[in-house]
Amino acid sequence: MKQIFIWFLFTLALVGKIDGQNHPSEANNILAQEQTHEGHNHAHQEATAQAEHSTDTSAQAHDATTHEAHTEEDHGGDHGFDPKSTAFHHISDLNVYSIGPWNLPLPCILYAPSSGWSFFSSSAFGIDNAHHGSGHYVIDGYVLNHGRVNRIVGDFPKGKFEIQGMHAKKVMVDGKEKDRDFVIVDQQEYALDKPSTADAGLFGGGITSFFDFSITKNVFSMLLVVLLLSWLFIGMAKAYKKAPGTAPSGAQLLMEPLILFIQDEVAKPFLGPKWERFIPMLLAIFFFVLGLNLFGQIPFLGGSNVTGNLSVTMVLALIAFVVVNINGNKHYWEHIFWMPGIPAWVKTILTPVEILGVFIKPLTLMLRLFANITAGHMAILIFISLIFIFGNSGANTGAGLGASIGSGLLTVFMMSIELLVALIQAFVFTLLTASYIGAATEEHAHAEHDHH
């Protein structure tokens, strides 16, 4: 049990490290273009403000109009129900933990090379419960934009500043038209950087100018699940140690069959005599993934989409990749790079395929778990959204009541399927990991090839 607990902590540490990473920003070039377009330079803020006050009242009127429009949107203006943004908001990783209409603050740990470290609670942003956790204040150049921390592009003084408004518009960046978010502070418009992500912009996260090591919703959910599982398994271990050989009781009645199932149906068939060496890792992965999948099915506890986050599944796949290749024996690597008994001209075709397979296996592990869990959450959110779409956000009560019946039944059915998917995906991830380890550690007898 101690080994299982160590694997939990190791996995959690890697996930937190990867999820908090990002890459150096190219924001200075973007800032130069946007400042040329908008005529704002914070280093000369006072002089610019005076000039605008005396010579450019129309620009101030435009800012005021923008602020009014944004304020109306932030406080529930009639802009219609947007199912796409609502669904993506609820499956994304946020810097606030949402339970129903309430947003609970989480610790913000932020670092920007130009301004250093910043430590504060997300409550310092003045969280707006009515608008997906957007904030009303700038803290050290950071803002809370739809539950995610963004940073103002370029240098911005440390301290707390009130926000007059936030909005999005299209701007030209490197000759391409892109959507950018802007914040209005002291009647001046500043561009916002993308949230800190680990994808280097591959999935739309963008290359950002800061590092976010905050305790996000997903990290908080993982901590809760790890603490719960640790308490559960440590308690079981103490019970077994206190009364060995007795019939299982309590949580043992549920967990012991699952442990024996992974041992007898996964570890032993795929790993053979080496199963005892890898069973702690396999059990840790299985219960960690299963616990997160089931925790995400509880709507009133934040509806976390942890295993539907690529950073999480990437770390789990990376662990499997490292373990497989570190334990790979001579025959495993020989099969990849040399393949005895196969003509040389065939090796030129098969060797690149085998090398790609080494990296494709963990990639499929990552994407399979991510796609299945995310798809389930999205389907449930879409069914619920039908109530607001047909009911026209409350304008058509009859249609809303009718849609709520059908959507409610579909949601209950989908949640039942999701419970099954949660177990299946945890089992599949563990099964494939065991099969990859078994293939890497299996002893192949090439004596027959030598005789021929």
Quote the DSSP letter at residue 158. Answer: S
Whether the pLDDT of residue 99 is over 50: the answer is: yes
Residues 133-176: pLDDT tens digits? 688 999 999 998 888 889 998 888 889 999 988 888 888 777 77
- 274: which 2 tokens? 């080496």
The amino acid at residue 42 is H
Structure tokens at 253: 């009645």
Mean pLDDT of the chain: 77
Does the pLDDT at position 228 exceed 70? Answer: yes
3-state secondary structure 414-441: HHHHHHHHHHHHHHHHHHHHHHHHHHHH
Examine the pLDDT at 436 and tell me if it is beyond 50.
yes
| Higher per-residue pLDDT: 440 or 396 | 440
Q: With b meaning 16 or more CB within 10 Å and e meaning fewer, what string describes 274-312?
A: bbeebbbbbbbbbbbbbbbbebbbeeeebbbbbbbbbbb
Pick the more confident residue, 77 or 155.
155
The angle formed by the CA atoms of residues 8, 305 and 412, to the nearest 5 degrees, is 120
| pLDDT (tens digit per residue) in 374-424 | 888 888 888 888 887 877 766 667 777 887 888 888 888 888 898 999 999
The lowest-confidence range among 58-62, 213-217, 280-284, 385-389 is: 58-62
Between 350 and 340, the more confident residue is 350
Read off the pLDDT of residues 28-67 as tens digits, 9 standing for 90 and up: 343 334 443 444 443 334 433 343 333 343 334 344 334 3
Residue matched to tokens 């967990």: 255
**How far is it, in rounded angstroms, from Cα 81 to Cα 447?**
69
The tens digit of pLDDT for each residue in 20-38 reads 433 333 333 433 344 434 4
To 10 degrees, what angle do helices 275-295 and 217-242 make?
130
The SS3 assignment for 329 reads: coil
Q: Taking the model in full, what pTM does it have? A: 0.75
Cβ neighbourhood burial of 214 (10 Å; 0-12, 13-18, 19+)? buried
The rounded percent of the chain whose pLDDT value lies above 70 is 73
Report the distance separating Cα 129 and Cα 108, nearest Å: 18
List the one residue out of 364, 387, 383 whose CA is nearest residue 375.
383
